[in-house]
Amino acid sequence: MAQEDVFKKLVAHCKEYGFVFQSSEIYDGLGAVYDYGQNGVELKNNIKKYWWDSMVLLHENVVGLDSAIFMHPTIWKASGHVDAFSDPLIDNRDSKKRYRADVLIEEQLAKFEDKIEKEVEKAKKRFGETFDEKQFRETNGRVLENQQKWNDLQARFVKALNDSNLDELKQIIIDQEIVCPVSGTRNWTDVRQFNLMFSTDMGAAADGAMKIYLRPETAQGIFVNYLNVQKTGRMKIPFGIAQIGKAFRNEIVARQFIFRMREFEQMEMQFFVRPGSELEWFQKWKQTRMNWHQALGFGSENYRFHEHDKLAHYANAAVDVEYKFPFGFKEVEGIHSRTDFDLSQHQQFSGKKIQYFDPELNESYVPFVVETSIGVDRMFLQIMAASYSEEEILSEDGKKDMRVVLRIPAPLAPIKLAVLPLMKKDGLAEKAREIIDELKFDFNCQYDEKDSIGKRYRRQDAIGTPFCVTVDHITMEDNTVTIRYRDTMLQDRVAISDLKNIISGEVSLKKLFAKL
Ligand code: GAP
Residue-wise pLDDT tens digits, 127-181: 988 899 999 999 999 999 999 999 999 999 999 988 889 999 999 999 999 999 9
What is the model's pLDDT at position 206?
64
What's the mean pLDDT in 106-125?
A: 93
Q: How far is the CA of 374 from the centre of ligand 1 (A)?
A: 6
Q: How far is the CA of 332 from the centre of ligand 1 (A)?
A: 8
CA distance 445 to 409: 16
Helix orientation angle between 141-162 and 166-175, rounded to the nearest 10 degrees: 160
Beta bridge partners of 7: none
What is the model's pLDDT at position 319?
98
- For residue 448, name the pLDDT band (cuts at 50, 70, 90): very high
Instruction: Output the domain CATH number for residue 136.
Output: 3.30.40.230
Same structural domain, 112 and 258: no
Instruction: Output the domain CATH number for residue 386.
Output: 3.30.930.10
Same structural domain, 113 and 26: no
How many helices (H) and strands (E) in the chain?
Answer: 18, 23
What is the model's pLDDT at position 311?
85
Specify if 170 maps to a domain.
yes
**Among 99, 86, 373, residue whose Cα is nearest residue 250:** 86
Specify if 97 maps to a domain.
yes
> Is 221 in a helix, a strand, or coil?
helix
Q: Which range of residues forms the domain containing residue 455?
A: 395-513
Q: Is the CB of 269 under 6 A from ligand 1?
A: no
Determine contact, residues 306/319, Cβ cutoff 8 Å.
yes
What's the mean pLDDT in 381-402?
A: 90
Specify if 76 maps to a domain.
no
Probe ligand 1: pick from 264, 269, 319, max atoms within 8 Å of CB? 264
- For residue 208, name the pLDDT band (cuts at 50, 70, 90): confident
* 278-289 exposure pattern, b = at least 16 Cβ within 10 A, e = fewer: beebbebbbebb
Q: How far is the CA of 160 from the centre of ligand 1 (A)?
A: 23
Distances (CA, A) of 45 to 97, 345, 426, 435: 36, 34, 38, 25
Burial class (CB in 10 A: 0-12, 13-18, 19+), 145: middle
Specify if 482 maps to a domain.
yes
Same structural domain, 378 and 415: no
CA distance 96 to 92: 5
Q: Is the CB of 376 under 6 A from ligand 1?
A: no
Beta bridge partners of 239: 272
Same structural domain, 191 and 153: yes
Q: How far is the CA of 199 from the centre of ligand 1 (A)?
A: 19
Same structural domain, 169 and 93: yes
- For residue 256, name the pLDDT band (cuts at 50, 70, 90): confident
Domain count, the chain: 3
What's the mean pLDDT in 504-515?
A: 96
Probe ligand 1: pick from 76, 320, 331, 369, max atoms within 8 Å of CB? 331
Same structural domain, 236 and 337: yes
What is the model's pLDDT at position 203?
86
Res. 298: pLDDT tops 70: yes
The secondary structure element, H or E, covering residue 427 is none
Domain final residue pick, 324, 359, 391: 391
Same structural domain, 7 and 147: no
Determine contact, residues 269/52, Cβ cutoff 8 Å.
no
**Ligand 1, atom 7: nearest CA belongs to which residue?**
217
> Is 436 in a helix, a strand, or coil?
helix
Q: Is the CB of 382 under 6 A from ligand 1?
A: no
Task: Give the type of residue at 122.
Answer: K
User: What would the pLDDT profile of 329-343 be if each residue is shown by its tens digit?
Assistant: 999 999 999 999 999
What's the mean pLDDT in 19-31?
A: 96
Q: How far is the CA of 338 from the centre of ligand 1 (A)?
A: 15
What's the mean pLDDT in 210-229?
A: 97
pTM: 0.90
**Ligand 1, atom 16: nearest CA belongs to which residue?**
375
Domain final residue pick, 166, 195, 224: 195
**Among 507, 486, 351, 296, residue whose Cα is nearest residue 406:** 486
CA distance 19 to 17: 6
Q: Is the CB of 332 under 6 A from ligand 1?
A: yes
What's the mean pLDDT in 72-100?
A: 95
Same structural domain, 348 and 399: no
Q: Is the CB of 333 under 6 A from ligand 1?
A: yes
Same structural domain, 376 and 275: yes
**Ligand 1, atom 26: nearest CA belongs to which residue?**
375
Specify if 200 maps to a domain.
no
What is the model's pLDDT at position 293?
98
**Ligand 1, atom 17: nearest CA belongs to which residue?**
375
Residue 304, φ and ψ in degrees, nearest 5: -155, 160
Q: Is the CB of 374 under 6 A from ligand 1?
A: yes
Q: Is the CB of 448 under 6 A from ligand 1?
A: no
Res. 371: pLDDT tops 70: yes
DSSP, residue by residue, 190-202: --EEEE---EEEE
**Ligand 1, atom 25: nearest CA belongs to which residue?**
260
- For residue 116, name the pLDDT band (cuts at 50, 70, 90): very high
Same structural domain, 345 and 450: no
What is the model's pLDDT at position 205?
66
CA distance 29 to 33: 8
- For residue 386, name the pLDDT band (cuts at 50, 70, 90): very high
Same structural domain, 299 and 386: yes
Q: Is the CB of 339 under 6 A from ligand 1?
A: no
Specify if 20 maps to a domain.
yes
Q: Count Cβ atoms below 10 Å from residue 199 Cβ, excluding itself.
A: 14
CA distance 373 to 223: 14
- For residue 497, name the pLDDT band (cuts at 50, 70, 90): very high
Q: Is the CB of 249 under 6 A from ligand 1?
A: yes
Probe ligand 1: pick from 65, 266, 282, 322, max atoms within 8 Å of CB? 266
Q: Is the CB of 377 under 6 A from ligand 1?
A: yes
Specify if 49 maps to a domain.
yes
Q: How far is the CA of 24 from the centre of ligand 1 (A)?
A: 23
Specify if 204 maps to a domain.
no
Q: How far is the CA of 11 from the centre of ligand 1 (A)?
A: 20
Domain final residue pick, 131, 161, 195: 195
Same structural domain, 97 and 52: no
